[in-house]
Every structure is written in structure tokens, then in C-alpha cells.
Amino acid sequence: MDTSVFLEDLDAFAYREALASGETIVLIPVGSLEQHGPHLPLGTDTILSTHFAEAVARRLGALVAQPIAYGYKSQQKSGGGNHLSGTTSLDGAALIGIARNLVKSFLNQGVRHVVFVNGHFENYQFLYEGIDLALEELGIGPGAGQSVLLLSYWDFVSQETLAQVYPDGFPGWEIEHGGVLETSLMLHLEPARVDMDRLVDGPAAVLPRFDRLPVVPERTPATGCLSSAAGSSAAKGELLHGQVVEDLSLDLAGELLTVPAGVPA
Amino acid sequence: MDTSVFLEDLDAFAYREALASGETIVLIPVGSLEQHGPHLPLGTDTILSTHFAEAVARRLGALVAQPIAYGYKSQQKSGGGNHLSGTTSLDGAALIGIARNLVKSFLNQGVRHVVFVNGHFENYQFLYEGIDLALEELGIGPGAGQSVLLLSYWDFVSQETLAQVYPDGFPGWEIEHGGVLETSLMLHLEPARVDMDRLVDGPAAVLPRFDRLPVVPERTPATGCLSSAAGSSAAKGELLHGQVVEDLSLDLAGELLTVPAGVPA
Amino acid sequence: MDTSVFLEDLDAFAYREALASGETIVLIPVGSLEQHGPHLPLGTDTILSTHFAEAVARRLGALVAQPIAYGYKSQQKSGGGNHLSGTTSLDGAALIGIARNLVKSFLNQGVRHVVFVNGHFENYQFLYEGIDLALEELGIGPGAGQSVLLLSYWDFVSQETLAQVYPDGFPGWEIEHGGVLETSLMLHLEPARVDMDRLVDGPAAVLPRFDRLPVVPERTPATGCLSSAAGSSAAKGELLHGQVVEDLSLDLAGELLTVPAGVPA
Amino acid sequence: MDTSVFLEDLDAFAYREALASGETIVLIPVGSLEQHGPHLPLGTDTILSTHFAEAVARRLGALVAQPIAYGYKSQQKSGGGNHLSGTTSLDGAALIGIARNLVKSFLNQGVRHVVFVNGHFENYQFLYEGIDLALEELGIGPGAGQSVLLLSYWDFVSQETLAQVYPDGFPGWEIEHGGVLETSLMLHLEPARVDMDRLVDGPAAVLPRFDRLPVVPERTPATGCLSSAAGSSAAKGELLHGQVVEDLSLDLAGELLTVPAGVPA
Amino acid sequence: MDTSVFLEDLDAFAYREALASGETIVLIPVGSLEQHGPHLPLGTDTILSTHFAEAVARRLGALVAQPIAYGYKSQQKSGGGNHLSGTTSLDGAALIGIARNLVKSFLNQGVRHVVFVNGHFENYQFLYEGIDLALEELGIGPGAGQSVLLLSYWDFVSQETLAQVYPDGFPGWEIEHGGVLETSLMLHLEPARVDMDRLVDGPAAVLPRFDRLPVVPERTPATGCLSSAAGSSAAKGELLHGQVVEDLSLDLAGELLTVPAGVPA
Amino acid sequence: MDTSVFLEDLDAFAYREALASGETIVLIPVGSLEQHGPHLPLGTDTILSTHFAEAVARRLGALVAQPIAYGYKSQQKSGGGNHLSGTTSLDGAALIGIARNLVKSFLNQGVRHVVFVNGHFENYQFLYEGIDLALEELGIGPGAGQSVLLLSYWDFVSQETLAQVYPDGFPGWEIEHGGVLETSLMLHLEPARVDMDRLVDGPAAVLPRFDRLPVVPERTPATGCLSSAAGSSAAKGELLHGQVVEDLSLDLAGELLTVPAGVPA
């Protein structure tokens, strides 16, 4: 237990010792409970963001809070749509409320920096709003010593990695849902939770450039995946995971560990 | 993966097969991230409610959703108070919002019964409100085939068990926070996450019959626990866990599996 | 008018004179408009909490604000259920909003202590949340001179009184709704508003250890009362009222009148 | 008790008998807890709207619910301003929430018509919004058998009455706060709650044609009243009360008792 | 572009120069998209409030922000009702939210005074609430240098003007919707947007003294106007516009330009 | 006036004639009031989205509603940040509320399709949430005849156009704020509102891959623009405008005019 980076494993007194440094960083993984096709589990987004948070926390000496395990409504253009069974979502107000409460709670306890590590595309703006409302309520503005960071892990995948993972060309983040990236990462990190025998290959979905509501269900492929996971491998997952953890750790260390607060890198 | 009762481990297609029966029960553990003294981890309430949900799900052939891992503000009379570092809470609106969204999402997917298994005292009324709002929005009233149940696991501890666990007399649920019940259960279910060497013995807290806000911090014992965990044992935990799982499973089976909807037991 | 303890009877200038002391205590009764069986009026909870507030106010030199006359939804396990005609309820957000506004308004006017005197079980957590939100907005934390107290009057009934009122054993607070306690108090305080000829005797309700929504209406006895009021008397009401007013007054005086703010009793 | 028109005095079974007619009308008085100068009590608006509701209910065979005893923030142009001690207000969301909940609760119980009898100017639009939201949620549109009415009692004062009450000319409703109308009504209906010895005469307030926030406190006269109550009398109050009750009863009877729903008078 | 008073035309650097004076006044027109009979466009209220704001801004050296182009629900007694096609409304919470956000945003940028120029009756109380909430959040109370004003332009029409515009007597503001005032102003300011050939003459609507919801649609005249616009003219519009702009400019100048903040005129 | 596509110019009766077809499409431009550097006006986003909506409406025979002229908070990575004077923003709840109200209002009036034409990046998810909530409240699901579309105009810029507008390579949408695209469009559509003499050239901003709050103000270039507008021209604007209007009109016509509802293209 004493080497766990997970807050749920710490007792309150050990946690308070960590806080006493005045430099504690808490990472909050954010995911979803969402259909990811026949070969990946519903918890994929939460599982992956938690893995990234854990690995980064070990590098930075940070802590990992309980994940936000339910995400904002899946949109057809990025996740197949909220009408698909298995997809279990929060509305905007609930997700904003969770983010706002966690920021307030952690900063009030003396945490120096809170970092949301997002693994579900649709969450981003609602997390941002929750953070912004919390800081306004706390009266924390530019120049303050405490801060909150928000990021999606895929924004740290480098061009080099992309080229290796998608040798035939990257189809675009917008249809990477249950595709090669997520599947490869799961094969590397949680192989027992992937069933490649159930994978269904097929062409990538072609969706309109607008969102239409109510959705036209037929536009989502039967698998629920917007691009095929064929070509996924644990090796690609290891590459992706290693590079992202490396870059993410470096960026966060540069931002939060070595630079005085309020001064740009 | 195929024998997991956890929704996060299922793929969407396996989940849909389960839904096709029209009789799916989903249990949602609800806990907190809250100080539990020097010998128990911050995640105790979530860990315990998840264990109860899992054990009951295995008996009933039900599924377990991702836990609600943050709870309502800890109150001084039942949890020591929200001012204690480690206690990381949601306000009422956020918790109501989560419960309301999950009920709507699961019932809309075709889940027959949703059961909230609560492990943090202060959550109860806000979960109730979220459930009630969801059912009103869905237009589900008396006589409907779908339902939502809400319970706290300690309400299923029998008088006989209490007498065995507290041979000198039960001090009352209101101060059972980090006490013999939770500690014994953790010793039985998660021994690696308990550190009995850190346990601090002492008399139970004597708190006023009113709540005062802002709290008077000195009224909470230094340990953060309202009663001593001295006398806890894995054996008591096994007894508690076994009896509660037995009774809870029987009650839920009687209510949800064998009785036509809308007819009292 | 000059001897009234009720704020609605005071003119603004007399009230300001009271505020000038810097020590004003305002008690806010909280009740419900809720079925209480065939022998008690719908306003029972508000009527009783107002009586307790008035009696305590006279002892403490405090003032009594207008009651919150509508309460949170009646739950089947504690009030028979919200589906019963006569039960006219607020949702959580509305009750939180009222409590939050009243706390802010009174403390901003210079009231020293606000005390909510609750007479309807289901209100408690929502009042607590309203109080907590208000104090956060006002920036009032531990050590402040102003405070808010929250209590339910039945928590001040002593074991001795219980033994006298229920000579055959106390059935438990959870089913005391329209039972011996409330009926006896009404017989003592408002005899003209009780009609004992309409009382229906019968065994106490046996309800599950979980809440089920939507409710199974048949589980509530036809009377709407969860325990029988047979055996109620004005004498028992006098005993209950006298003892509770005595204890409540002593506790509040000890907390609010003689002890410097921020220091535990 | 059996002749009371007040819901708080009825038992649930007597109330259900009334509902069985399918024609029950419930009037809800709405007031405020607000400074009304040195000669009138803080509860004036609630007291007066309750009196009007009671008198009309007796004529129509209707029932009177518990008043909404706290109102929207007092504005400087109509009530002196919310900064004056004694004025204890709800924000818009709370008042909207109460009205919305009460409409839903009463109409769901089978009440045919709900009538809000308003006695505090600033409440009107928020009550309207609460009513409108409730009807939308209930799916009640034009042509439905159930309805909700909203009125302020002073809109039923006739020109003839005004001429008699203000022989020197009516100064305008906007500054009638603690003035001749309210004072005369209180002298007639609640003489023990008025202290004419404390009345301070003086010219009417001259306020800008705009609202300015934050208020400029000096613009409100020291009395808190916007026009003088000199010239008030119980006789004027009797005239006002009698005429308004007569007109209001006739209008409501014509609207609710004799005309089929959905057809204009 | 450099002589525009409209914020949407200014670039950020020119705007910041204006702010540097510390005396910037921003006027926000507020209107509606609402049926105004067959002869006036749906945008009438927004068009007129924008014209008044622009003219006053030119006199005062103030700026005009983008209008709030959608208003609160049209009520039958003042706008014919929200059931009439063309009437496109916001609920209370949305309008409160807009006003609250704009006040916070402008005052945080350093604007000295914000003035809401209202042209749609039903908006007023919700704008007031939004302003009040914003100032509370910003901690701006009596005596502060920054302020917010709220006004409806028709409150600045003088008795002399009224007598000239309505030689047969003024029918009352409550039924001036698509009537002589608005039509004359449009004929003067936006003649190309009025079609007098479509005007339908007829008697003024006679509406009850209460609001009834759901509305009885037949009570609104077929035109949607509550009083006839017959007798409107561009000359009357010019008179109205000139006098109101004159008075409004003088009042605002007296309040905001020459008087030290916090001191009454 | 009779040829205007703008709803604010139509009278209610002409609008109802349009609605009678059952095929009315209403486009709602959405923008912001936001700093766009020294050469573009604060209203740029609203101006551009309104131009696109108008041009498309003329092609499709659709109508254009009043724009939502204030947008969600500007984020540093996409708009420079909300701390920059001139940027006047709504929070998430307000923007969600506006979108939700407009969808409900227009669909209830009988509009067949509502199309939000977005011109401010940060708005998108909040508009989506408002739409989704409205459809849920209206009970409009897959297969319904009415629908709502949401799009950002830049998603319709083709690769060919991009190559012509950015001959040296497209820097990415995320830093196109006050850059070549917006400036060229303004030079083509609103030349009098652009001042190219004030344009400041410079390298594109390099921002972290995470969002940090509170922002580090120094990371935004002094101009407030994230990429240089050097190289902008009216010709490029004409190309952009023409191609986008063409593609957008074709896509919307294909989706809304020729395809039976509920069937994918």
C-alpha cells in the first residue's frame, strides 16, 4: 500500500504528509462507460486514462485520484452516438459539477496542481467549464501558485509515432474510437480485457460534416467503431504508451516542477 | 473477462445479449473519497460498497456498474466533517445529477432494475432525489416494470451479527466511521489496504445532538474516527460480510426475481 | 404585539433594535404539508416545529422566523410516500434554495445565530446543503462569530421520556409518522386540531430495508400512518414537549449564549 | 377544524373527499418578510394576501394552502430595497422553484385550479415562470381542464374605491409600500399588529425612472416607506377589503365555476 | 468604422483605449423576437431598444453592446401570449444567465457603468435578477464606483408627449403592444420595415385582471395586438423618440457623468 | 422587407405563411463578442456566421434567426483567452440555456429543421448539449420528422481551398483566430470593418498541448491573434466564402430537402 500512487489506497495521515510539501500534484483520470465495439470493454476510456495517469504519476511523484468513470454523451461523429446500448453518459451539468467540485475540494486541501487526464473526446469542454467555475469561486487568477491543467492523452502522440502506428496514413482523430490506437494500447496494457477474435474489420465510417440530432442511427457502423482496429498490436500499444508517457511527463515536469508559477515555459 | 460481473469489463455486444433477457439488474456501488483515520485508506467506502455489490451480483446473476467514487460532503456527526484533508466531496447538485443521469441512461438502455448500494451515510438523500427526478422525467410510476432500489449495506446487518461484532454493546451507526465494522470488513476483504499498526484507540466521540456550521473542528477526534476500531478482526469482517451478502441477496431476489412488478412482497 | 417572538409581528425598527445587540438568535421552524392519517391535520409537522421554536425562543430571548411550511418529498419508509394526496412537497433544489437564501439573508442582516428546528424527517440533508452553500458564499468558516445550527426536535427526546411514552417498547423513529409521539404532542398543544374519533388502530407497517421507486403503494397502510397512534394522550404530549423544550433550550444556551464562538463545549 | 378553509387544518381523508368532486380550487397566498416602516409588521404582505385568500375561499368553497411567506428581493422603486434589515428575501430561482413544485404537486393530486394570490409586487414574474415551467412539465396546454391563475390583489381595487381612499389623488401603485392602502387594510384586519403611534408622516419618495444597482441607500426614506400612511383608517381598510373580495370572488367564480374550461368569458 | 458606437464594430485595441479612461459606459439593448401583428416585424422590440441605445450613446459618448435579441416569454396581458407563432422566447433562467454573464464580463473588463435599455415588458424582473446576482458575485455593494442601471424606454415618455400621441386618452402601457407607440416609432426610425397597408384596426383587447395559464388563446385578438395602431404616424414617432432620447440622456448624464459615485442626485 | 431572409424583418403573418408549408428551415448564426486583434472588429465571429447563414438561406429558401451574439469563454489555445478585454463571454449554462430554448421554441412553432451555423470554436459542445436537452424534453427521437443540425462553417472549407489560401501550408484550425481565414473573409464581406493598416505580422503562437488555468497571460501574443493575418486578401475571402456556401448549401439541401426524414444519405 505504501508505494501506491492511488489516493484511494492512501490513509488520510499519509496523504497529509504528502500535502505538507506544498507541491503535491493530483492527476484525475477521466473516461467514460461507452460501447467500443465487440472487441474492447465498455470501460476502455477510463482504463486507458487511468493507465496514463498512473505512469505519469510515478515519473513525477504525483498522486492519482479516483477516475471520473462516466463521461459526457457520446456524439455520433466521435463515438458512434449516445443511442448505442452500453454507452452510459452524464449530461453537461453533471460533468461540469463533478469537475468543479473536485477542483475546489483538492485546491482547498492544499493540493498545488490538479491535472485532468482525459480519455474521452466529448468530455473536454465540460471539464474546462468546471475548472473555470471552480477557480472563479476560489478567487484564483493569473499569477496564483495553484493551477489546474487539462489535457487529452492523444494530443501527446507525436507525428513519428503516428507514422509508425498508421503506416498507410492516419485516418484522423475524429474517427479513432475503438480503432487501432485504443486497441493497441489495450493489447499492451490490458491484454486480458481485449478479445481480438471478436474484432470486425471494415472501412472507416464516412460521416457528414455536421451533427444531426436526433441521430440517424444507420450512419454508425454496426460495430459501433468508426474505424477498423485491424492492424492493432501490443507492440504498437507499447510504442504509443511509452512515447506519450515520456512526452507528457516531460511537459508536465517542465510546467509544474521546474518553472516558478505564473511564468511561461 | 467473460466471467466478470463488472460492466467496465464487458464489451457492448456481450452487454446487449444480457439486456435481451429483459431482466437485467445493474448494481451501482456508491462510496466516497474520505478520511478514515490512520489505519484505513481514503477509498474505504467505495471499496466496501463495491465488494458488497460484486458478491450480491454473483448470487443474483446481476451486473456491477462503475462506482460513484466521490460522495456528498462528510458531516461532523457521521464522518468527522468535510474540513479534514483527504475528504474530497461533491455538493448535493452534483451527486443528484450523477444519480439522475445514471438511472435515465440505464433504464433507457433496457435495464430492468437499478440498485444503488450505498457505503457512505451522507449520500442517501441525494441519491434518492436523483432517482426520483429521473423516474419523473421517464414517466415511470407505480406499477411499471422497471424500478430503482436504494439501500445502505449496514441496514442489512442483523441484530445477531451486531451482538457478535460488538460484544460490549453497539455504540450506534451514527459514530461508526472508521470503527469496528468498517475495519473488520476491510481486514477480511482487503487486508493489504489496512494497517492495524497505525490504529489509535480511544473513547468514542461525544457530539452534540445538533449540527453546527461552520464546524467546530476540535469536536472531531484527532484520528478522524468517531469510535475506536480496537477489537476489529478479519473474522468479524467475514461474519459481517457473509451475513449481509446473504440477507441482501435474499431480499433483492425476493423483490426483483420472483415477484411480479408492482405487487408487494 | 410587543411581546411576540415571531418576526412577522415585529416592525422593522423594533427588529433593528434587537439586531443592535449583536447577539440575536433567529429560529426557523421547518415542517411539511403532508398526510398524517385521518386524525391529524396536514400541517402537523409545521405546527409542531413552530411550537418547539416558539417555546425555546421564549426561554432564550430569541426570535422565530416564518416557518418553511412545505418540505422535501415524503419517503415511504418515513412518511408513507409522496404519492398520497395531501402530501405537497418541494424537490431538493427548491428546499436547498430556500435554506440557502434564508441563511444568507439573516446573516447579512447581522443575525448572530440561525437555528433550523426541523419537524419533517426528509428535510434534513437538504437543509444541511443549503446552509453549507450559504456559508461558503458568505466566506464564513471555522472560528467565525456567526453560525447556523440544524436539528430535528425528536433527537432531543430522552431515553427516560421514551420509556414513559412507549411503555411497551419504542418501535423506532423511522415509523413514527402520525404515531404516538406526534399525536400526543398535538393533543397537548393543539387539541382542537386532532380528531381522535377518526384514529384507526392497527399493527405497525413492516417495510423493506431498501427504498424502492416507483413506490409500491400497497406497502403503506391505508391510514397513511406507519405506526398506530393508539395510546396517545395529552399527558404524554405534555411530557414530551416539556422535556424536549428543556433539553433543547439548555443545549442551545450552552452552545450559543455562554460559550465564546469557535470553542467547543 | 371542520369548517376551516386552511389546508394545514384538514386531515388527509377530509381533503381527499374534497378532491373527489374534481372541482377543488386551492388558493396560495404569497407575501414576503419585509420592512414596512415603523408602524407595520414585517409580515404585512403575507398577512394581507392570506386574508384575501381566506375571504375569497369562503365565498367560493375553495381551500387555502400554506402561504409562501418569503418573497423575491425588495426593489428600491417598489419596496425600499433589499438592503434594509428586516427584508428577508429569496432569489429568483428559489421562488420559481417553490411555485413550480406547488403547481405540480397540487395538480398531480387532482386539484382543478390553483390560484396564487400575490401581496408583494416583486414576486409576480417569478411566480409566473414557476407556473409556466410546471405546466410544461405536466403537459398541460390550452384547452386542458386544469388551470393556474395568478393575480395581485391590488389589481382588483376599483377606481371608485381609489377615489374614496385617496381623496387627494392616488399617488400610484409603485410607491404604495407601507402606505395608506396597506396600513388601512391592516387597521381593519389586524389592528393589534399596527402601531399608528409609530407612524412617521412625510412626503412621498421621488425615485429615478431607472433601477440602479447597487442601490444608493439614501434614496429610500428613513422610514422605509415610499409614501406616507397618514390618512389611513380602519374604515378605508374595510372598504378596500370588501370591494376587492367582492370583485375578486366574482371574477374567479365567473372564470372557474360557471364557464367550461378552455372557453373565454 | 471609427465613429461607430457599436462594440461589434470596434477592434479590441480601440476598445481598450476607451476603457483606459475609467469612465466607459456600455449600453445593452434588450428586446425580443415576438409577433407584433401584421404590420410590424418580429424584431420590433430589439430594433427599437437598439435605436434608443444608439441615440443615447451618441449623446453620452457611450458604447452600445450587441443586443439581447430574444426575450422572456410573452405574456397574454402584455404581449398577446407565448403561444403565437413568431414569438420565440427564453425562459427565466436563460435570460437571468445572460444578464448575469454580461454584467460580470463588462465590469471585469473595467467598464464603469452598464445600462440595460429594455424594449420588451416581460424582461424586466429577470434582467434585474441577473444584475443582482452578478454584483453579489463580484462583491460590489453600495458606494462602489461601478454600477448597473436598468430601464425600460417607455418609462421616459412624458405626460406631455402621451397627451399628444394619444389625443383621445392613453389606453395604458399594459396593452401597448404593436400599438400606436411602437408603430409610430417604427414609422419614424425604420419605415421600410413597417407595412401600414397590413394594419388591422379594431377595439383594444379587454383582458382579465389575472393571468391564466394555460392561456385561453381566444382572448388575444386575431391580430396579436392588444390595442389598435390606427392613428400612428412618423411624426408621432419622431416626437416620442426625440423626447425620450432627450430625457433619458439627461437622466443618465446626471446620474453617471456629473455625480460622484454613491451619492444621490 | 418582403425579400428579407431575416426573421427579425418578417411580420408574424408572413412568417406563419412560411410555416404552413411544413418545410421551414431556420438557420441560427452563433458567434461571439471577442477580441480579434487590432485589425478586426470584436463582432467578427457573429458577422461571419451571419453572412454564411444568409447566403445559404438564400440558396435553400430558408430563414435566418437573430444571431446568438455572445459566445462561450474564449480559451487560450483557440482564441487567446478570456482574460483579454473585449472578450465578453457567456458561461456554459447560459449558452446551453439559449440553445435549448431556441430549439424548443422554433420546433414548437412548427419549424421543420433548425440549423446552428457556428463561427466561434468554443461554442460547439454547449450548443450540442442545449440541442440534445431540448429534443429530450420534446420527446423527439430517431425517425422524427423534425431535426436540428449543428456545424461550424470552417469544417466545410475544402482541401483545395485551403491549399490556395495557405500556399505555404495550413497552420491548423486551432490557431486560426484573427488569422488569414477570418481576415480574408472580412475583407471580402465587410471591408469597411477591417483596418489592414493596423495588422501586426509575426510568427504563429506556440502553445502547450494542455490547457492551463488560470491562464499564463504572456503566452498569448500581444496582438491577441494566434497566427498572422499577413497574406489575407479579399480574393481569398471570396474564394473561401464561395466554396463554403456552395458546399454547405449542397450538403444541407441533400440532407434536408431531398431525403425523407430518418433515412441516411
In this prediction, residue D175 carries a pLDDT of: 84
Cis peptide before F214 (omega within 30 of 0): yes
Give the model's pLDDT for residue E176.
85
Question: Would you say residue B196 has pLDDT above 70?
Answer: yes
- ipTM confidence score: 0.95
* Amino acid identity, position E137: E
Non-local CB neighbours of C223 within 8 Å, separated by 6+ positions: C37, C38, C178, C200, C202
State whether the Cα torsion B71-B72-B74-B79 is positive or negative: negative
pLDDT on residue F264: 43
pLDDT of E190: 98
Confidence of residue C27 (pLDDT cuts 50, 70, 90): very high
- Residue C82 pLDDT > 80, yes or no? yes
Q: What is the pLDDT of residue C258?
A: 63
Contact D255 E126 (CB under 8 A): no
Contact A8 B33 (CB under 8 A): yes
3-state secondary structure of D175: helix
> Is the pLDDT reported for residue C262 higher than 50?
no
pTM reported for the whole predicted model: 0.96
Cβ pair E98:F98 closer than 8 A: yes
Q: Name which of D96, D141, D150 is nearest E210 (Cβ-Cβ).
A: D150
Q: What is the pLDDT of residue B85?
A: 95
> Do residues C204 and C168 make contact, with C-beta atoms less than 8 angstroms apart?
no
Mean pLDDT of all residues in C166-174:
89
Cross-chain Cβ contact D219/E264 below 8 Å = yes
In chain A, which residues have pLDDT < 70?
A: 1-2, 258-265
**Residues belonging to chain B:** 265
CA distance D199 to chain E (A): 25
Chain E contact present for F42, CB below 8 A: yes
Touching E: D residues 75-134, CB under 8 Å: 75, 82-83, 91-93, 96, 115, 122, 124-126, 128-129, 131-133
Which one of A122, A142, A251 has the shortest CB-CB distance to F216? A142
Question: Which pLDDT score, from 0 to 100, does residue C252 have?
Answer: 98
Amino acid letter for position E54: E
Query: What per-residue confidence (pLDDT) applies to E147?
Result: 98
Dihedral of alpha carbons C89, C93, C96, C98, sign: negative
Gap between the Cα atoms of F253 and F27, Å rounded: 13
Q: How many CB pairs under 8 A join A and F?
A: 137
Dump pLDDT digits (tens) for D69-116: 999 999 999 999 999 999 999 999 999 999 999 999 999 999 999 999
pLDDT at C249 over 80: yes
Q: Which three cell numbers stand for residue A132?
A: 473555470
Catalytic residues of D: 34, 36, 45, 120, 122, 177, 182
The average confidence (pLDDT) of chain D is 94
F210 contact residues in A (CB cutoff 8 A): 115, 149-151, 155, 251-252, 255
Q: Tell me the C-alpha to C-alpha distance, in Å, between residue F11 and each of B119, C153, E254, F58.
A: 60, 62, 38, 18
- Please tell me the distance from the alpha carbon of residue C53 to that of residue C63, in angstroms, as a whole number: 9
Q: Which amino acid is it at B150?
A: L
| Nearest-CB residue to C129 (from B92, B156, B218) | B92
Please tell me which chains touch F, using 3 or more CB pairs under 8 Å as the contact test: A, E
**Touch between chain F and chain E: 3 or more Cβ pairs under 8 Å:** yes
Q: What pLDDT sits at residue B258? A: 63
Most F CBs within 10 Å: which of A113, A115, A209, as the mutation test of the F interface?
A: A209
In angstroms, the Cα distances linking A263 to A259, D111, F79 are 7, 64, 20
Q: Report the pLDDT value the prediction gives residue B261, as an integer from 0 to 100.
A: 40
pLDDT tens digit string along E67-79?
999 999 999 999 9
SS3 letters across chain C: CCCCCEHHHCEHHHHHHHHCCCCCEEEEEECCECCCCCCCECCHHHHHHHHHHHHHHHHHCCEECCCECCCECCCHHHHCCCCCCCCECECHHHHHHHHHHHHHHHHHHCCCEEEEEECCHHHHHHHHHHHHHHHHHHCCCCCCCCEEEEEEHHHHCCHHHHHHHCCCCCCCHHHCCCCHHHHHHHHHHCHHHCCHHHCCCCCCCCCCCCEEECCCHHHCCCCCCCCCCCCCCHHHHHHHHHHHHHHHHHHHHHHHHCCCCCCCC
For chain D, the maximum distance between any two Cα atoms, rounded to a whole number of angstroms, is 55
Put simply, whether E137 touches F (Cβ < 8 Å) is no
Secondary structure string (H, E, C) spanning B131-173: HHHHHHHHCCCCCCCCEEEEEEHHHHCCHHHHHHHCCCCCCCH
Positions of chain F with pLDDT under 50: 1-2, 259-265
Q: Which residues of B touch A8 (CB under 8 A)?
A: 33, 41-43, 46-47, 69
Q: Which residue has the higher pLDDT, C224 or B2?
A: C224
Strands E63-64 and E113-118, bridge-based pairing:
unpaired
- State the DSSP string of B65-94: PPPB-S-BPPPHHHHS-TTSTT-B-B-HHH
The residues near C21 (Cβ < 8 Å, ≥ 6 apart) are none
Burial code of A76-100, b = ≥16 C-beta within 10 A, e = fewer? Answer: bbbbbbbbbbbbbbbbbbbbbbbbb
Which domains are seen in chain B, by residue range?
7-257 (3.40.50.10310)
- Residue window 219-238, chain A: list those with CB within 8 Å of chain B: 224
Contact E24, E18 (CB under 8 A): yes
> For residue D98, which of D66, D141, D120, D121 has the smallest C-alpha distance?
D66
Q: Contacts of residue C42 in chain D, CB cutoff 8 Å?
A: 7-12, 15
| Active site annotation includes E247 | no
Radius of gyration of chain B (CA): 19
pLDDT reported for residue D92: 98
pLDDT in tens, B130-184: 999 999 999 999 999 999 999 999 999 999 999 999 999 998 888 888 999 999 9
Q: Sort D203 into a burial class: Cβ within 10 Å, 0-12 / 13-18 / 19+.
A: exposed
Residue E132 reports pLDDT greater than 80: yes
Return the percentage of chain D with pLDDT > 70, whole number.
96
The mean pLDDT of chain A is 94
Contact E43 F98 (CB under 8 A): no
Angle (deg, nearest 10), helices D92-109 and E124-138: 130
Q: Could A7 and B33 be called an inter-chain contact, meaning their C-beta atoms sit closer than 8 Å? A: yes
Distance CA B216, CA B213 (A): 8
**What confidence score (pLDDT) does residue D109 get?**
98
Nearest to B216 among C93, C251, C262 (CB): C262
Q: Which chains touch B (3 or more CB pairs under 8 A)?
A: A, C
CA gyration radius for chain E?
A: 19
Q: What is the pLDDT of residues B240-255, one digit of tens each?
A: 999 999 999 999 999 9
pLDDT of residue B92: 98
**CB-CB neighbors (< 8 A) of C121 in chain B:** none
Q: Which chains are adjacent to chain C, needing at least 3 Cβ pairs under 8 Å? A: B, D
Whether B39 is a known active-site residue: answer no
Which of D96, D155, D211, D215 would you mutate first to test chain E, the one with the most E CBs within 10 A? Answer: D211
What's the rounded mean pLDDT across residues C26-42?
A: 97
pLDDT of residue A172: 86
pLDDT in tens, E7-52: 999 999 999 999 999 999 999 999 999 999 999 999 999 999 999 9
User: Residue C260: its pLDDT value, please?
Assistant: 46
Average pLDDT over residues C84-106: 98
